[in-house]
């Protein structure tokens, strides 16, 4: 279909997950670009700020989106049940499918009925898989190979969205980021930053791997690009900083950003794996020691996109956000 957004022309954009790590930064960026931004919140906000705020207490497969979608040109769907290291749900598969598949497709169907022009879906590299072989990069053309309920739910949502948009006039953009870091990051990456900041010795000096990451500023810029670019219609993209690093290099980069020296202890990887298995942390260690690389040549060629932030700049922004006064 024809481009739904002319580059540089303000449009009305609905953002779900707007109060989250990515959503906060994205809404601010879109507003700075001059777009109208409608955000979805669970509770009415006392101060709306520069955005139009719509309260929807529960986002579920039966949610009525009609009032939120009125006058909207583009939907950016960030809200999801995220990957949990220790999922306490009695049926994680059911919960992931309910929140990440059924809820997503319900929103997309209603968006298509309201003549929304473009639906931008934040998926995950976990649709491709968990690890790459040395020198082998994930590409958009590869057969999906999700390994856990979260990855499978994202993959299923992608398939459902493609079929839905194929049948109508709304076009679709799917974005698969790897680990996203930046101001406000939580979970394991935040723990690693705090360990570096406190000068703790880390037993990662012998790790030899390559991993793709994406700085929050780079991901936000890429999402904004796909909102406006006509070549993004009905495409799937992998996105990253465009420069892969090892885990020891990541630690060194965080230390430099904090004005410190990295304290890396050369413990053999086999010993790390044995210790992690004993304490039930094998999955977390896999993220530190394994390879996961993505190819962003499609985004570069089709959209002319280049990451605006270097890895060094992204790590500096992340570390500055946790520095104590």
Catalytic residues: 150
Secondary structure (H, E, C), the chain: CCCCCCCCCCCEEEEECCCCHHHHHHHHHHHHCCCEEEEEECCCCCCCCCCEEEECCCCCCCCCCHHHHCCCCEEEECCCCCCCCCCCCCCHHHHHHHHHHHHHHHHHHHHHHCCCCEEEEECCHHHCCCCCCCCCCECCCCCCCCCCHHHHHHHHHHHHHHHHHHCCCCEEEEEECCEEECCCCCHHHHHHHHHHHCCCCECCCCCCCCECEEEHHHHHHHHHHHHHCHHHCCEEEECCCCCCECHHHHHHHHHHHCCCCCCECCCCHHHHHHHHHHCCCHHHHHHHHCCECECCHHHHHHHCCCCCCCHHHHHHHHHHCCCCC
């Amino acid at each position: 279909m024809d481009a739904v957004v002319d580059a540089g022309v303000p449009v009305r954009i609905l953002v779900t997950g707007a109060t989250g790590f990515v959503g906060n930064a994205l809404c601010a960026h879109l507003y700075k670009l001059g777009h109208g931004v409608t955000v979805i919140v669970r509770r009415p906000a006392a101060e709306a700020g520069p955005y139009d705020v719509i309260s929807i207490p529960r986002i579920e497969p039966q949610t009525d989106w009609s009032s939120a979608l009125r006058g909207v040109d583009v939907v950016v769907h960030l809200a999801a049940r995220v990957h949990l290291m220790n999922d306490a749900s009695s049926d994680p598969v059911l919960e992931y499918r309910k929140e990440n598949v059924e809820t997503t497709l319900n929103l997309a169907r209603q968006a298509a009925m309201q003549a929304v022009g473009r639906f931008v879906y934040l998926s995950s590299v976990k649709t491709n898989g968990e690890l790459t072989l040395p020198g082998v990069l994930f590409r958009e053309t590869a057969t999906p190979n999700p390994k856990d309920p979260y990855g499978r739910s994202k993959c299923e949502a992608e398939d459902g969205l493609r079929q839905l948009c194929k049948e109508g006039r709304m076009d679709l953009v799917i974005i698969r980021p790897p680990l996203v870091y930046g101001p406000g990051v939580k979970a394991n990456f935040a723990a690693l930053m705090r360990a570096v900041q406190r000068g703790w010795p880390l037993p990662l000096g012998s790790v030899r791997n390559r991993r793709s990451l994406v700085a929050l500023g780079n991901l936000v810029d890429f999402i904004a690009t796909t909102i406006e670019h006509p070549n993004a219609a009905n495409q799937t993209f992998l996105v990253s900083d465009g420069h892969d690093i090892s885990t020891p290099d990541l630690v060194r980069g965080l230390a430099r950003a904090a004005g410190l020296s990295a304290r890396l202890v050369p413990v053999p990887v086999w010993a790390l794996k044995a210790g992690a298995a004993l304490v039930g942390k094998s999955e977390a260690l896999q993220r530190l020691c394994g390879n996961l690389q993505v190819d962003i040549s499609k985004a570069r060629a089709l959209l002319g996109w280049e990451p605006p932030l270097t890895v060094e700049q992204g790590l500096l922004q992340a570390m500055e956000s946790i520095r104590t006064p």
